[in-house]
Structure 1
Amino acid sequence: MKSYSPSVSKNPEKFSNVIIVGGGAAGFFAAINLAELRPDLSITILERGKDVLQKVRISGGGRCNVTHAEFDPRPLTTNYPRGEKELLGPFHKFMTGDTIAWFSDHGVELKIEDDGRMFPVTDSSQTIIDCFLRLTKEYNIDVQTSQNVVSLERTDQWKVITKTDEFICDNLIVTAGSSPKIWELMKTLDHTIVNAVPSLFTFNIVDKAITELAGIALEARVEIPQLKLESQGPLLITHWGFSGPAILKMSAWGAVELNSSDYKFDVLINWLNYLTHEDCYEMLLTKRDDSKKQISNDRFYEVPKRLWSYIVQAAGLQDKTWQDCSNQNLKELATLLTASVFKIDGKSTFKEEFVTAGGIDLKEVDFRTFASRKQENLYFAGEILNIDAITGGFNFQNAWTGGWTVAQAIGGK
């Protein structure tokens, strides 16, 4: 076991029936649900920072994307590049509809936006934070901040040692996210850690002609042929490259492979979404037969004006009319419209919401209870597990489901 410095003065050991390491979404949800099931239990949350629920605070641009309006367990799991198989059973017990009902029962109403994301009707993450803090106070849950855990020891009970205190508990729940220090402690408990790699990020490119088109958004199809990855959805051109749901989905599903490539690869973009090269070419031939207009002034297929200008110039057709084009000209234009190739050189974090793939190997967790298969009375929930999702409220749903399941497992003892 990892030792701690004997020179540090410790306060006398403090006992709780349950200690939760990590004051984030999963930790608070587990604590509150357990307190409702078993008000006789003493519960302590240990947070290493000065404030709790910081990821909740910044989620969704400060609005907190609580969950996603997908109400069937199996389709819901398809939003998890890692954890899809493992979450199916837990989602049959607690998922989106249960989350909505839970928050409603505790005074927080949620709303569904057009893209399926769900937020508090107040559009403020503070609403979620206030709800959790009110409930922890109501249920006498001991929330301690600036408690940096340095060691965990297991005998007949758990001993949790921080820089300033020592705690004893019967059941230990770890919800500390992707904390490298906690991961190291998990290794001392015989758990395997899958190394962390970024999961949600945008693509950087060095093509100034494209980055000058920042602000353009459209539905597109994106592929990385060398890695056999593809995605579809809204794509956003930014000052540094490409973003939007189509890119973020690809970054999540290809997190490990893209990390291995050092984020240097070719991306192929179909600006016309599902339209094939062949169909596009046939439509361009028809355009040539029907129009005498200058190509640069006659946009095709509702391509945004600035993007159309870029594509026409890339094809060298800015001074031509449709009728001036050869078959080869139109084939090249069809290629640029349906299979433009860009060199990606690096990535950028998606807003403040840094999500990683990695964590405790899922084979070492019993997903009926989210309990460790290595140690008795040890449970996990949230991003400490090697589970991550695409953007849209899915990572929080994993936290709610895991926290609720752990509470049921301990509360039913």
Structure 2
Amino acid sequence: MALLQIVVAGGGAAGFFGAIAAAMAHPQAQVTLLEASRHPLAKVRISGGGRCNVTHACFDPALLVQHYPRGGKALRGPFSRFQPKDTVAWFAAHGVRLKTEADGRMFPVTDSSETIVDCLIQAAREANVEIYTTAPIVAVTKSGHQFQLQLRTGETLPADRLLLATGSHPTGYQMARSLGHSLEPPVPSLFTFNVTDPRLEDLAGVSVPLVRLRLETPDGNRLEQQGPLLITHWGLSGPAVLRLSAWGARILHQARYRASLQINWVPEMTPEELRQVLVQTKGESPKRTIGAICPIPLPKRLWQRLTTMVGIAAETRWADLSNQGLRQLLQELTQGNYAVAGKGVFKEEFVTCGGVNLAEVNFKTMESRCQPGLYFAGEVLDVDGVTGGFNFQAAWTTAWIAGQAMGSS
């Protein structure tokens, strides 16, 4: 009897994990992985600043799905079968220990993505996965129950089961479409904001642990997020901005990345509580200068810039702060408006929203509802998470489920 031929298109996180899962679950099958480039797992290698943010320490599937702007509902079932604790256990079983950082992100204890890359390549080899690099697929057709994959070399490779784990590469989308699938148009997700504003000039590198952001596009769409913020040479970044960009990926794309951004620099206080703190400081330190004393949890350079921008000179004494100056300062600290004039790149993630329509995929098996024998995993689907290891987790989960299912008749 001929061996079942399982072919995985794509040598990234989802492709390798799916190939390994299939080979381990169905040792009677021949599993072949095709990667178009010379170097597989390239995105894993550079992710997390070269440390690889493998997953996130969120072990409740109901909470986990809340970190996915698109695809959360579809992932609820899959996460009940393979979630971050399973990822941790899988890597531990393959000799890689993960550690949890204060914000929940999980990395290998080595702090090196090479640990994850080496682990996946070794596990694939041990499971007898045949790995081919520089093997781009140029076309896919189906004849009877079998797929025919035409490679750039001119070869044609047969496949009884085909897993598309091609990420956001146009070739993968093209293959899905040629096999009867529709796509949600891919647009960028997880990006920084280009903001040119004198209040931020020369403050690159300054970070604030907690801000509240309110975004409004010209056509009236509104979004809100809070979290840490980082001032950069080109504008604003940090988890709060990245989350806002993920949830607002489509509306910001439609608005051509033009929007109004309101920043509350001290969201842990109500405006009245903030006013009381400023009034109290005025009473307790009347002879000290406003530039010298920052009574709220803001970096001093940012505090001095914001006070100066509302017309309060750094050498002004607290006793000389007028009621009007106090009102203007309160307004600036809680409702400062900034113009977003474009998007930057968040180099560690490269996430796209959009991809294969989720209604056309059975999330119990990751098999196509349009084409029997065709499976999907990872970012080729219209699934994306916020930053923090959630996109990798979606890749591990969908790939594992596809791998379990692909060998079944």
Q: TM-score, normalised by structure 1?
A: 0.93
Which position in structure 1 is the counterpart of 2:170? Answer: 180
The gaps in structure 2 that reach 5 residues or longer are none
Q: Indicate if the aligned counterparts of 1:211 and 1:237 stay in contact, CA closer than 8 A.
A: no
From the superposition, tell whether residues 287 and 303 of structure 1 become closer, same or farther in structure 2 (CA, over 3 Å): same
Query: Residue 317 in 1 paired to residue 307 in 2?
Result: no
1:42-61 alignment, distance < 5 Å: 42-61=30-49
Q: Identify the range of structure 1 (244-253 vs 282-291) with the bigger mean alpha-carbon deviation.
A: 282-291
Q: Which moved more, 1:144-153 or 1:65-74?
A: 144-153
For 1:92 and 1:146, the matched residues in 2 are separated by 36
Aligned to 1:404: 400
Matched position secondary structure for 1:267: strand
- How big is the shift at 1:322? 2.5
Preserved contact between residue 202 and residue 247 of structure 1 (Cα < 8 Å) = yes
Mapped to 2, the partners of 1:124 and 1:291 lie a distance apart of 49
Within 5 Å, give how 1:192-341 maps onto structure 2.
Answer: 192-218=182-208, 219-225=210-216, 226-292=220-286, 293-318=288-313, 319-341=315-337
- Kept after mapping to 2: 8 A contact 1:211/1:238: no
Establish whether residue 104 from structure 1 lines up as the match of residue 92 from structure 2: yes
C-alpha separation in 1, matches of 2:293 and 2:101? 35
Aligned to 1:380: 376
Q: Distance in 1 between matches of 2:337 and 2:291?
A: 21
Distance (whole Å) between structure 1 residues aligned to residue 122 and residue 201 of structure 2: 46
Secondary structure at the aligned position of 2:261 is classed as: strand
Superposed CA offset, 1:158-214 (max 9, x none): 111111121101111000011112212222222111111110111111124413111
1:346 matched residue in structure 2: 342
SS at match of 1:401: helix
Contact 1:171–1:377 under 8 Å retained in 2: yes
Cα distance in 2 for residues equivalent to 1:239 and 1:214: 5
Within 5 Å, which residues of 2 pair with 1:69-88? 69-88=57-76
Task: Tell me which amino acid in the other structure corresponds to 2:116.
Answer: I
1:161: which partner in 2? 150
C-alpha contact 1:16 1:168 (8 A) present in aligned 2: no
Q: Matches of 1:314 and 1:283 in 2, distance apart?
A: 20
Q: Contact (CA 8 Å) 1:16, 1:167: kept in 2 or not?
A: no
How many angstroms does 1:282 deviate by? 3.4
The offset of 1:255, in angstroms, is: 0.6
| CA–CA separation in structure 2 for the residues paired with 1:33 and 1:39 | 10
- The two structures, once aligned, show a CA RMSD in angstroms of 1.6
| 1:292-344 CA distance string (max 9 Å, x none) | 13222221213211001111111111153233233222111001111111111
Which whole-Å CA distance do the structure 1 matches of 2:322 and 2:403 have between them? 69
Letter in 1 for 2:50: G
Residues 48 and 348 of structure 2 are in contact (CA less than 8 Å); yes or no, is this contact kept in structure 1?
Answer: no
How far apart are residue 59 of structure 1 and its match? 0.9
Counterpart secondary structure, 2:260: strand
Equivalence for 2:107: 119
AA matched with 2:238: G
Q: State the AA in 1 paired with 2:303.
A: W
Displacement after TM superposition at 1:228 (Å) = 1.7
Letter in 2 for 1:236: L
**Which 5+ residue runs of structure 1 have no aligned equivalent?**
1-13
1:273 partner amino acid: P
**Partner of 2:119 in structure 1?**
131
| Aligned amino acid, residue 353 of structure 1 | E
Give SS of 2:33's match: strand
Q: Which residue of 2 aligns with 1:37?
A: 25
The Cα of 1:33 is off from its aligned counterpart by 1.2
The 8 Å contact of residues 7 and 159 in structure 2, kept in 1 or not, is answered as: yes
Change (3 A) 1:15 1:143: farther
Q: Any idea what SS the aligned residue of 2:45 has?
A: helix
Deviation by residue 1:39-75 (Cα, 9 ceiling, x = unmatched): 1100111111111111110111111111000110011
2:86 corresponds to 1:92: no
TM-score where L is the length of structure 2: 0.94
Which shows bigger deviation, 283-292 or 252-261?
Answer: 283-292
Q: 1:28: which partner in 2?
A: 16
SS at match of 2:150: strand
Matched residues, percent identical? 46
How far apart, CA to CA, are the structure 2 residues paired with 1:353 and 1:394? Answer: 11
Quick check: 111-120 or 201-210, which moved more?
Answer: 201-210
Contact 1:15 1:167 in 2 (8 A): no
- SS of residue in 2 equivalent to 1:118: strand
Separation in structure 1 between the aligned mates of residue 407 and residue 358 of structure 2, nearest angstrom: 23
Query: Secondary structure of 1:248's match?
Result: helix
Distance 1:37 1:24 in 2: 20
Tell me how far 1:93 sits from its aligned partner: 0.4
Residue 287 of structure 1 and its aligned partner are, at CA, apart by 3.2
